[in-house]
Amino acid sequence: MDMQLNELQQQISDACGKILERRAGPGRARALRAAGDFDRLLLTEMAEAGFLDLFGEPEAGPLVAALITQWGAQAAALAPIGIRGLVAPSVIHGDLPEVIAIAEQGAMGAVRYGAEADMLIVLDGDEARVARRGEFKAETIKSKFGYPIARITEAKGEALAPGAGAIARRWWRVAIAAEISGSARGAVDLTIRYMGDRVQFDRPIATYQALQHRIVECHVSTDAATWATREAAFRGAPVELAATAAIIASEAAHRVFFETHQLTGAMGFTTEYDLHLYTMRLQTLRLEMQGLRAHARDLIDARWSAAS
């Protein structure tokens, strides 16, 4: 076992970090949100550098695709990196467009990046189909959830191989967990800095142990989500590990939202301050795929259904 980045992974991390530093970040996320836009430029640049097509690369594989998703989210990147890099290639072979969205049949009322997508993957039980531009219709919904969200009103498309729905669902969970762990890390890091700077009663609030413990709990939850995501990706997203990662991550999302906002006081609720750029997304991700309840149900079915 080796939990450190190997040489190749380190190189990818450095190169990807440079792109994210230049292209992503909370300032850019804020500007894009204000304009009702998302980061196509970033996706293009990452695609050109090859960072969105590592899933099938023997040396990199899904683990690195998951790492990139985490890093992107941590940098507040406003682009569906995980769906493109981690979910789509698990069921579609060959060239992929840059912007891909995913939805569950029967829950198409709110789909992240639905209106921006060049391609939509629709899961229907264990099956799935893929609709290209023109084969589905989407209406943007104005929302406070931190991502562009759309209602899909119609989606035709072509069936994928039998069982593709079940496969994509597992990777979707890993992608959610990866985005949560990255966004949560962004929120926690920001809050740690804020606590060091914010002085009340003549001392930085970071010096209060009662508060230190709370941010530490956030750190622990985020760390757990990070590692659960990585293992699930590394092992090919078996149902149990994918669901476990999504559960740990959803719980972390809940905690991190709650605590980072509490620790930041009134400032955390303003749109001028960066925190909401990470935290509103945590709420979306926590509710996606019907949330914790559905993740838990799949875990129970996979692990204990034989016992009952």
Ligand X SMILES: Cc1cc2nc3c(=O)[nH]c(=O)nc-3n(C[C@H](O)[C@H](O)[C@H](O)COP(=O)(O)OP(=O)(O)OC[C@H]3O[C@@H](n4cnc5c(N)ncnc54)[C@H](O)[C@@H]3O)c2cc1C
Q: What is the distance between the alpha carbons of residues 149 and 145, in angstroms, rounded to a whole number?
A: 8
For 129, phi then psi, to 5°, come to -135, 165
Q: What is the distance between the alpha carbons of residues 207 and 235, in angstroms, rounded to a whole number?
A: 41
Provide the 3-class DSSP secondary structure of residue 130. strand
Of the listed pieces 13-21, 53-61, 178-186, 281-289, which binds another protein according to CB under 8 A? 281-289
Of the listed pieces 21-29, 82-90, 107-115, 219-227, which binds another protein according to CB under 8 A? 107-115
- The answer to whether residues 219 and 188 touch, using CB atoms and an 8 Å cutoff, is yes
Q: What is the distance between the alpha carbons of residues 177 and 234, in angstroms, rounded to a whole number?
A: 14
Residue 266 interacting with another protein (CB under 8 A): yes
Residue 265 interacting with ligand X (CB under 6 A): yes
Residue 200 interacting with ligand X (CB under 6 A): yes
- The answer to whether residues 137 and 154 touch, using CB atoms and an 8 Å cutoff, is yes
Name the residue nearer to ligand X (CB basis): 2 or 202. 202
One-letter identity of residue 130? V
Name the residue nearer to ligand X (CB basis): 173 or 276. 276
Name the residue nearer to another protein (CB basis): 44 or 283. 283
Q: How far is CA 273 from CA 180, 261, 279, in A?
A: 20, 11, 12
Q: How far is CA 121 from CA 11, 22, 26, 253, in A?
A: 31, 30, 28, 25
Q: Tell me which residue of 42, 43, 45, 64 sits closest to 55, measured CA to CA.
A: 64
Residue 31 interacting with another protein (CB under 8 A): no
Supply the minimum distance, in Å, between the C-beta of residue 93 and another protein: 30
Residue 107 interacting with ligand X (CB under 6 A): no
Name the residue nearer to ligand X (CB basis): 226 or 264. 264
Of the listed pieces 16-24, 156-164, 165-173, 291-299, which binds another protein according to CB under 8 A? 291-299
Residue 283 interacting with another protein (CB under 8 A): yes
Q: What is the distance between the alpha carbons of residues 156 and 212, in angstroms, rounded to a whole number?
A: 52
Q: Which partner, another protein, ligand X, none, binds residue 27 by CB below 5 to 8 Å per kind?
A: none
Residue 269 interacting with ligand X (CB under 6 A): yes
List binders of ligand X among 179-198 (CB under 6 A): 198
Q: Which partner, another protein, ligand X, none, binds residue 306 by CB below 5 to 8 Å per kind?
A: none
Paired strand residues for 137: 154
- Tokens 């993740």 -> residue: 295
- The answer to whether residues 34 and 146 touch, using CB atoms and an 8 Å cutoff, is no
Supply the minimum distance, in Å, between the C-beta of residue 200 and ligand X: 4
- Binding ligand X (rule: CB under 6 A), the pick from 10, 140, 262, 270 is 262
| Chain residues in the site for ligand X (CB under 6 A) | 198, 200-201, 205, 208, 210-211, 262-263, 265-266, 269
